[in-house]
Structure 1
Amino acid sequence: MKTLLLSLKDVEQALSMEEVIHAVEEGYISYNAGKVQQPDIVSMEMPENNGETDIKSCYNKLNERISVKIASGFYDNGKNNDLPTMIGTILLFDGKNGAPLCVMDGSLITGIRTGAAGAISSKLLARKDSKTVAVFGAGDRQECRYMLCAR
Structure 2
Amino acid sequence: MKPEKTLLLSQSDVASLLAMDAAIAAVEAAFAAHGRGEAAMPPKVYLGLPAHDGDLRAMPAYVDGAAGVKWVNSHPKNPARFGLPCVRGLYILSDPATASPLAVMDATRLTGVRTGAAAAIASKHLARPNPRTLGLVGCGVQARFLLDAHRAVYGDQLEVLTADVSREASEQLAAEARGRAVSVEEASGCDIVCASTTARAPVVQRAWVRPGAHINAMGADAPGKQELEPQILLDARVIIDDWAQATESGEVNVPLHEGALHREHIQGTLGEVVAGKLTGRGDAAITVFDSTGLAIQDVALARVLYAAARSKGAGTAFDFFS
Normalization by structure 1: what TM-score? Answer: 0.89
Give yes or no for the alignment of 1:15 onto 2:7: no
Deviations 1:112-137 (A, max 9, x none): 11110111111112222322233446
Shift of 1:78: 2.0
Counterpart residue number, 2:111: 110
Counterparts of 1:47 and 1:142, CA distance in 2: 29
Q: In 2, are the aligned partners of 1:138 and 1:144 still within 8 Å (CA)?
A: no
Corresponding residue for residue 42 of structure 2: 39
Letter in 2 for 1:47: P
Aligned pairs for 1:106-145 (under 5 A) are 106-136=107-137, 140-145=142-147
2:67 corresponds to which letter in structure 1?
A: I
Opposite residue 144 of structure 2, the aligned amino acid is Q
Structure 1 gap ranges (5+): none
Task: Give the secondary structure class of the aligned counterpart of 1:102.
Answer: strand
Q: Which moved more, 1:9-18 or 1:24-33?
A: 24-33
Deviation string, structure 1 residues 29-57 (Cα, Å, up to 9, x no partner): 11112211100111011111111111111
Instruction: Show the counterpart of 1:53.
Output: 56
CA RMSD of aligned residues (A): 1.7
Equivalenced residues, count:
149
Amino acid at match of 1:127: R
Measure, in 2, the Cα distance between the counterparts of 1:132 and 1:76.
Answer: 32
**Aligned partners of 1:97, 1:19: CA distance in 2, in Å?**
27
Please state whether the residue corresponding to 2:98 is helix, strand or coil: coil
Deviations 1:48-102 (A, max 9, x none): 1111111111111x2x111201110122212222321111111111112211111
Larger radius of gyration: 2
Secondary structure of residue in 2 paired with 1:144: helix
Question: Identity, % of aligned pairs?
Answer: 34
In structure 1, the residue matched to 2:148 is: 146
